[in-house]
Structure 1
Amino acid sequence: MELRQLRSFVVVAEEMNVGRAAARLHLTQPSLSRQIAALEHDLGVELFARVKRRFVLTAAGSVFLADARELLRRADDAVLNAQRTQRGELGTLRLRFVQSATFEALPRLLGAFREAYPEVVLDLEAMTTLHQIEALRDGRIDVGLLRLPTAEPGLNSRLVTEDPLVVALPAKHRLAKRRRISLAELAEDDFVLYSEASGPSVYGRIVGYCRDAGFVPRIVQEGVDVQTIVSLVAAGLGVSLLIAPTPPIDPASVVYCKLSDDLPTWSLSVAWSPDNSSPVLERFLQLG
């Protein structure tokens, strides 16, 4: 049984006339008759009968018609889905992101992608830069939104934003009303920072900046995510240094201040493996 035979059968059943059906199918009447005969032979049943000079479906033909239409619909859907998958309109995008991307870049990029390709499944999870690099190289994810300190061998990347470091202070802190402060002015404060295990590159750079300003930060609490760190600052446990954009806060609890120090910005990049041929990834990169 072939799909072309099913299509021919459905058209004949709709027209109940071989001549009209042949014209719709752009076939000769003998060719169409041979297709129907071959289909009946494969099925072992008669699909049509002549009743008082009329061409009608048999009982078996009536039941088979509904199933034939469903088979053709599913076959058409399979072809369409394969074509749409090849165009990147269907499939799954496995994306990982650093938490500092969640307040501006991630919503912007995903919002545009979701609008353009609403049927693509998004597999999303927060992940540190180091773990993203490993997952990209292993082929476990398609794209990463991460903080690359330098070009990473074996990966392609594209800059998304350059973000500054800002100070998070308890609202009652002595410097909370200042628009800009220097790192040196925080030398005597307790600090709340990312744990070295959860963000080794962030931890290392921030501690390095403090040392360049003449002090070693007194770290009294650590957090694995920015929301936790901000909550600890709001509780008055210490000050923190965060990569902008920062999470929304109650100004009665936490204040963000700019730094007067001339510090490097933090690059937020999209990274992917050049060996990944996913059409969905290609569409995401085109929009980004």
Structure 2
Amino acid sequence: MNLVGHLNCFVIVAEELHFGRAAERLGMAQPPLSQRIQRLEKELGVRLFDRSSRKVELTAPGRLLLDEARDLLARVDRIHSLAERARLGEIGTVRAGLPPDLGGPVVAALIAAFRERAPGRRLELREIGTAEQARALADGALDVGVVRHPIDARDLTLGPALVQPVGVLVPADGALAAAPEAHLADLAGHELVVFPREESPGTYDELLASCRRHGYDPPAVHEARHPQFALGLVLSGTAVALTARTEDTGGVTWRPLAGTPLTWRTSCAWRRDLAPDQEHAIEEFTAVATAVLRQEAGMSPLDGVPARRVAPRPASGFLA
């Protein structure tokens, strides 16, 4: 017996208390409907309705079972809905990598925006540099990543590229803080604080090469994994840090670089041989991440359209 189908008939008859109207709602003749109710009663071992020539009424067992039947039918509908959403790739877990230098507010905004756009999905985030993201994507350990350029993209598909100006973090009481902006050549003689090369070798090498082309060849380069270590080096007065815009705090201040000689380029990336059931999830994450990076991290598309809002990160988290 098709229990779900028979329970559906029971609920409709209970709502109508009239076999003719119930049969019309169900798109069937009245005799087969009566037979289904009788089979259901036999299966359950109770009478569900008192029938007479003048009216149909629920019995006490019928009233007791009506809410249970409705709940069961609702759960069956939910199962069908979830199965359809799964078929369309609208549910499941998205494993995404984020670079360590994204600030906390940006990460929080990304999580909130993704939940709003894809409430049926679980977002599993990992703080991971570009080089490790590329390996994780190749190994299938990540579904999508937010990566820095340049990157070896032979086996990857890249989303819309965004650019972010890089400025310099200097002591607030130092000579470099006196001007509204700094030239790279003005940094000569200062040691440099930057993210570890292993996190994004292409970005690291490109940044140092650009510094040297513009007259800044740092006497020493310090790779900082933790923001407090980087801040300590800057506060010592011997080093500066190249980073995206940050708030002035804790004795340090951020200055833009004249002419914008340095930028960070960022995009989402995923495997080219993406499974069909993953495509929709990756599209959703890419759309959300691109919008959040523009709105919250001050990034702009390569066509030069400015970001709508720039929310500076605290200096204490500029490398985290």
TM-score of Structure 1 vs Structure 2, range by shorter chain:
0.7 to 0.9
One-letter amino acid matched to 1:175: L
Structure 1 residue aligned with 2:270:
272
In structure 2, the partner of 1:81 is: 82
Could you tell me which amino acid in structure 2 is paired with residue 232 of structure 1?
A: G
How far off its partner does 1:115 sit? Answer: 4.2
Please show how residues 72-151 of structure 1 align to structure 2 within 5 Å.
Answer: 72-86=73-87, 90-102=91-103, 113-151=114-152
Partners of 1:238 and 1:88 lie apart in 2 by 53
Unaligned runs of 5+ in 1: none
Report the alpha carbon displacement of residue 9 of structure 1 after superposing the two structures with TM. Answer: 0.7
Q: Give the aligned length.
A: 284
Give 3-state SS (helix, strand or coil) of 1:78's partner: helix
Change (3 A) 1:115 1:102: same
Q: Show the counterpart of 1:217.
A: 219
Residue 251 of structure 2: aligned partner: 253
- Distance in 2 of aligned mates of 1:200 and 1:62: 70
TM-score normalised per structure 1: 0.80
Q: Return the alpha-carbon distance in structure 2 between the equivalents of residues 33 and 11 of structure 1.
A: 12
CA–CA separation in structure 2 for the residues paired with 1:102 and 1:133:
21
Local SS of the residue matching 1:169:
strand
Gaps of 5+ in 2: 291-320
Q: Does 1:193 align with 2:191?
A: no
- Find the aligned partners of 1:131 and 1:14 in 2 and give their Cα distance: 60
Distance 1:229 1:202, change over 3 A: farther
Distance 1:285 1:165, change over 3 A: closer
Instruction: In structure 2, give the amino acid aligned to 1:153.
Output: R
Structure 1 counterpart SS, 2:177: coil
* Cα pair distance change 1:194/1:122, threshold 3 Å: same
1:2-56, Cα deviation, whole Å (9 max, x unpaired) = 3221110111122232222212222111110122123233334433344796533
Matched, 1:62 2:60: no
| 1:23-62 equivalence runs, <5 A | 23-50=24-51, 54-62=55-63
Change (3 A) 1:286 1:97: closer
Instruction: Work out the percentage of aligned pairs sharing the same amino acid.
Output: 33
Task: State the AA in 2 paired with 1:149.
Answer: P
Kindly indicate whether the alpha-carbon contact (under 8 Å) linking 2:247 and 2:253 is maintained by their aligned counterparts in 1: no
Q: Which moved more, 1:158-167 or 1:267-276?
A: 158-167
